[in-house]
Structure 1
Amino acid sequence: MQMLIIGGSGEMGQWFATFFKNEGYDVWISGRRGRSDVAEKLGVRFTSTPEEIIPECDVVIVSVPIDITPEIIRQTAPIMKPGSLLMDLTSIKKNPVDAMIGSAPEGVELLGTHPMFGPSIPSLQGQTFILTPVENRCEKWFPIMRELLERHGAHIEIITPQEHDHIVSIVQGLTHFAYITIGATLKELDFDVQGSRRFMSPVYEIMLDFVGRILGQNPWLYAQIQMQNPEIPNVHRSFIEQCERLSKLVVENNADNFCTVMKDASVHFGDTGAALHRSDKLINAKVAEFEELLQSIGKEKGLYHIYSGKTHVGIVEKVMARSVDILESGKLVNLKIENVRLLNSDELNAWKNDNLAAKTRDISTYIPENADPDTLCHILGKISEGISCKVHDTYISPDGRRSATFRIDIRQDIDINKIQDDIERLLEGIGCILR
């Protein structure tokens, strides 16, 4: 299947180019900046003339800024072949889908989509994916795409474009607007955000991190999410009215009415108890991670750096409120706690197996008549983490005894002499005679 992602050199375009390439699609990407180097890095093909590729493609995905998505769709759809699929990855749905319907020839299938995540996620597992298929225009491709996304763990929601734009005017429009407003207020007040972290509770820290998460994104994208959805101005008006209403009650020292507003909102919100439990879980996970780091002082641990992708393995020397010191290969490395994840024992062992060299020992022994060398080898390989075993050779001695040589690969951080002693004792204990 041949696929073109228009805007494929952008971050979301790159994510989906990799995803579909891994699913066996022959992926092309195009982009206004002519980033053929991006295509080379991803292992896909680049075109600076998408109009020449579009008529041959089975799937065309539009992944461009929201404000130009309808126009790109109107340029793309008319030259697509019958039986092909036109998709978009835009945060707004009605305008793009209307452009598809108005410009795509009969026989071209149409599917509006909105992945509710950013390009930093490692997989679709647990992520929400909204689909807005056009009625009677997506019979072939809709089940294919749905099955593919669900197979990778995505949660699928199917709604109309109008329903989508109404829902995301709150889910994205209101929440983004509130977070950006908090950030702008902190700036207006010249508030020392970093300094305030010395006094923060876990709740405050999590809230502050969500504000920073939004502020650190592409501002043009967030401007378009606010400005291209016709439902959002009404949401803003209601939000600002409620801000002014509550502020007036505070100025008037009207605690009774303030409490009434809060109680009414709580009733409408619904199960606040469940929300408390979910937020407690998030807070406790943050606290538990720090406690685990404290318990790791003086021990060998692995810290995976979320942004660089590097794993630091060494002795944890010191844990502070915001950072951790780890002695790695004789060098003290200081890492920000928010940037690292503590590996569990299985992950650390797997990293060592992949990255540390192994030493080899051959152990030869006469084995009992009915013993199976492969079964013995399997048992020897389980004697410790970080070792592997294979049967190097077997033969029958002149006096008729069966002999086997086991080749043991022992990771360099493990005491090789101790492992050899343990293996030899085990072999002797089950009736083998060392040679």
Structure 2
Amino acid sequence: MKVLIIGGTGEMGQWFTRFFKNNGYEVTVWGSGGKVEIARKMGVEFAPDLDMAISESDIVIVTVPIDITEQVIIETAPKMKSGSLLMDLTSLKVKPTEVMKEYAPADVEILGTHPMFGPSIPSLHGQIFILTPIEGRCKKWFPVIRALLEDNGAHIEVISAQEHDRFVSVVQGLTHFAYITIGTTFNRLDFSVAQSRRFMSPVYDIMVDFVGRILGQNPYLYAFIQMENPEVLKVHEAFMQECRDMSAIVREHDVESFISRMKEASVHFGDTSAALRRSDKLINSKIAELDELVNSIGMEKGLRHIYSDVVHVGIVKKVTPRSVVLSTGSKLVSLKLENIRLLSPEEHRKWKTENLREYSRDISVIIPKGADPEVIRSIIRTNMNVISVQLIDTYTCAKSDTGSSVTYRVGVIGDANATVVNNEIAALLTGIGCKLRG
């Protein structure tokens, strides 16, 4: 099955290139920037002839900026082969689906889609994916695409293009508008966000991070989300009117009106208790790692840098609300908390196994009669500093009343004291009835 992704060298295009490739599709990408090296890095072909690639593909996906999506569809749709599928991944649905319907041949199926996530997510598990099929234009491919997404863990919502644009005018239009406006207000007030973090509450900290998250991304994308959806302007008017009304109430010190507005909004909102629990969960997850690091001062921990993927292993020396300091033996390393992830014990052990030199120690014992050498081997593996255990020699004397003589070769993690580990294993083996030899 051949998939062509127009815009496949962009961030979302790269995400879906990897997704379709990992699901067994033959993927070709094309981008106006001609970034062949990105295609090569992903292990797919960059289309040398776009028109030919369109005519040969079973699925063509358009994932380009909103303002040029319609033009790309107009140029692409007529060139598609019979029985193929044309999809778009933009955050608006009415205009793209109307253009697909108009320009795609009758024997080419069309499907509007909107992934409600960005390219930083690792997988589809738990992510919402909106599909806006046009009646009579996606009988063959709709179940195929839906099954592919659901099999990879996505939650599918099927609505009309008109419903989609109304909902996202609030879900994206209002939230982005509010966050961006908070950011521009900081700028207008010449307010130091960095200094304000000295006095932050968990809620403020999370809110500011979301503001920064939006401000730090592609401004063109957010401009087009605001400007290309006609429903957004109605939302802006309602929002600004509420801001004016609430500001007037505050100016007049009208406590009763303020309380009344807040209570009415609470009733309309619905289950505020569930919202409180979900937000508590978010806040607690944010501080849980900090608490674990604070409780680990003086202990060895592994920290993976999220962006460079470099792992730092060392003794935790100091923890602040914004950073952690590790002693790696030769130097102190200071890392920002937002840039790192604490390794689990299993990940920490795996890193040490793969990156530290292994020391071998042989230990010979006479095991109890009837004991299984393999079971004893698995018992030795329970020592946290043991990487591997090999059974290298077994001798059983038929005339002896004792059990077999067994020799194990034990691999010890490089930063552990091999003598101490050897003594721990010896104590363990004698404790279960083995007799040390030599």
TM-score bracket relative to the smaller structure: over 0.9
Please say if residues 182 and 211 of structure 1, whose CA atoms lie closer than 8 Å, have aligned partners that are also in contact.
yes
Does 2:86 align with 1:86?
Answer: yes
Amino acid in the other structure paired with 1:155:
H
- Please say if 1:76 is aligned against 2:79: no
Answer yes or no: is the 8 Å Cα contact 1:424–1:434 preserved in 2.
no
The equivalent of 1:60 in structure 2 is 60
Aligned partners of 2:184, 2:75: CA distance in 1, in Å?
38
Q: Residue 410 of structure 2 aligns to which amino acid in structure 1?
A: I
Q: Is the Cα contact below 8 Å between 1:202 and 1:283 reproduced in 2? A: yes
Quick check: 1:191 aligned with 2:194?
Answer: no
Q: 1:102 to 1:202 in 2, by over 3 A?
A: same
Normalized against structure 2, the TM-score is what? 0.92
Give the drift of 1:370: 4.4
- Judge which range, 378-387 or 278-287, deviates more: 378-387
Residue 29 of structure 1 aligns to a residue in which SS?
Answer: strand
Contact 2:131–2:156 under 8 Å retained in 1: yes
Match of 1:408 in 2: 410
Shift of 1:232: 0.7
**Which residue pairs with 2:156 in the alignment?**
156
Residue of structure 1 in register with 2:272 after alignment? 272
Structure 1 equivalent of residue 27 of structure 2: 27
CA distance in 2, matches of 1:163, 1:385: 58
Q: State how many pairs are aligned.
A: 435
Q: What CA distance in whole angstroms lies between the structure 2 residues aligned with 1:308 and 1:161?
A: 40
Alpha-carbon displacement from aligned partner over 1:150-197 (angstroms, at most 9, x marks no partner): 222222111111111111000000000011111111111111111111
RMSD: 2.2
Shift of 1:399: 7.3
- The equivalent of 2:221 in structure 1 is 221
Cα separation, 1, equivalents of 2:366 and 2:84? 67
Looking at structure 2, the residues matched to 165 and 370 of structure 1 have their Cα atoms a distance apart, in angstroms, of 73
SS at match of 2:321: coil
Residue identity in the other structure for 2:437: L
| 1:434 equivalent in structure 2 | 437
Return closer, same or farther for 1:398/1:258 CA change in 2, 3 Å cut-off.
closer
Q: What is aligned with 1:352? A: 352
Distance in 2 of aligned mates of 1:411 and 1:365: 22
Q: How does 1:231-380 map to 2 (within 5 A)?
A: 231-365=231-365, 370-380=370-380
Is the alpha carbon distance of 1:209 and 1:91 closer, same or farther for their aligned partners in structure 2, counting shifts above 3 Å?
same
| Shift in alpha-carbon separation, 1:174–1:353, aligned structure 2, 3 A | same
- Read off the aligned partner of 1:308 and give its amino acid letter: S
Paired amino acid for 1:421: N
1:31-58 alpha-carbon deviations (Å, 9 max, x no partner): 0110011011111111242211112112
- Higher mean alpha-carbon deviation, 84-93 vs 287-296, is at 287-296
- Structure 2 unpaired stretches of 5+: none
Residues 63-212 of structure 1: pairs in structure 2 closer than 5 A: 63-212=63-212
Q: Which has the larger displacement, 188-197 or 412-421?
A: 412-421
| C-alpha displacement of 1:300 | 0.9
Q: For residues 263-285 of structure 1, what are the alpha-carbon distances to aligned partners after superposition, in whole Å with 9 as ceiling and x for unaligned?
A: 21111111112212222222233
**Cα distance in 1 between the residues matched to 2:111 and 2:167:** 18
- Code of the residue aligned with 2:71 in structure 1: it is E
Q: Structure 2 counterpart of 1:407, which letter?
A: R
Q: Is the 8 A contact 1:368 1:431 kept in 2?
A: yes
Which deviates more, 54-63 or 8-17?
A: 54-63
In 2, distance between residues paired with 1:325 and 1:425? 37
Contact 1:386 1:414 in 2 (8 A): no
TM-score (norm: length of structure 1): 0.93
Q: 1:407 to 1:54 in 2, by over 3 A?
A: farther
Q: Which position in structure 2 is the counterpart of 1:418?
A: 420
* Matching residue's letter, 1:43: G
Amino acid at match of 1:418: V
Whole-Å separation in 1 of the counterparts to 2:329 and 2:149: 42
SS of the residue 2:332 aligns to: strand
Task: Give secondary structure in 1 for the equivalent of 2:136.
Answer: coil
The CA distance in 2 between the partners of 1:143 and 1:356, in whole Å, is: 49
Q: Distance in 1 between matches of 2:393 and 2:179?
A: 67
1:5–1:60 contact (8 Å) kept in structure 2: yes
The change in CA–CA distance for 1:200 and 1:148 in structure 2 (over 3 A counts) is: same
Offset, 1:425 = 4.4
Q: What is the SS of the residue equivalent to 2:165?
A: helix
Residues in 1 aligned to 2:116 and 2:355: alpha-carbon distance in whole angstroms: 35
Rate the CA distance shift 1:370–1:143 in 2: closer, same or farther, 3 A: farther
Residue segments in structure 1 that go unaligned for 5+ positions in a row: none
How far did 1:374 drift?
3.4
Equivalent position SS for 2:114: strand
User: Which secondary structure state, in structure 2, belongs to the residue aligned with residue 249 of structure 1?
Assistant: helix
